[in-house]
Amino acid sequence: MRRKKPEDLREWCYPFIFETRLTCDYEILTDELCCHIGVVLSMLPQGFDDIRHDLEQLQPLIYNLNGSVRGKNGIFERDIEWLKARYSHYQQETAGRVTGFVLPRGPAPVPQLHLCRCTGKKIVRMLVRLEQEGRTFDETLPRFANVLANFFFVLTVAIKDRLGTEEVPYISINY
């Protein structure tokens, strides 16, 4: 049975919610990521102004990423370059702190940023699936989404470093 728009709009949470294509799932994932960032912002300690500013800059870009599959492209080379520069900033700040896998734990908002990282990976995977489904979009989208997932990880390292929290290494028995 194919669902259609209900007469009572209170029973309709999103204009595309009853679509069967993956585009709607992609949009929900990007919306989820933007919400996760809002949670991180609410938990960010005082004095983390550079991180706060970066996350505040990132939220509108996430919504640009959201609409870039169904609508016109809203992620540009300048956005990727900005995000790479911010990634490099935090990576240089924490150089040598992480040399292998670490467990995703620590004080708030570190676990929440790890959820952002995972959602970023889901977005990359959904872009792969959308492409497989025949959807076309600008190559800036998967590039930006990949950098995004890495950016959230380096933010966890920077926050833990600033708070004096140790990383907990994970040694795989599988590889």
The residues spanned by each domain of the chain are: 16-92+102-163
Model pTM score: 0.93
Q: At what angle do helices 49-67 and 22-43 cross, to 10 degrees?
A: 170
Second CATH level (architecture) for the domain 16-92+102-163: Up-down Bundle (1.20)
8-45 pLDDT, tens digit each: 888 878 788 888 899 999 999 999 999 999 999 999 99
Angstrom distance (rounded) from CA 133 to CA 122: 16
In one letter, which amino acid is 39?
V
62-72 b/e (C-beta count within 10 Å ≥ 16 → b): bbbbbebbeee
Within 10 A of 80 (CB to CB), how many other CB atoms are there? 18
102-142 pLDDT, tens digit each: 999 999 999 999 999 999 999 999 999 999 999 999 999 99
DSSP state of 104: S
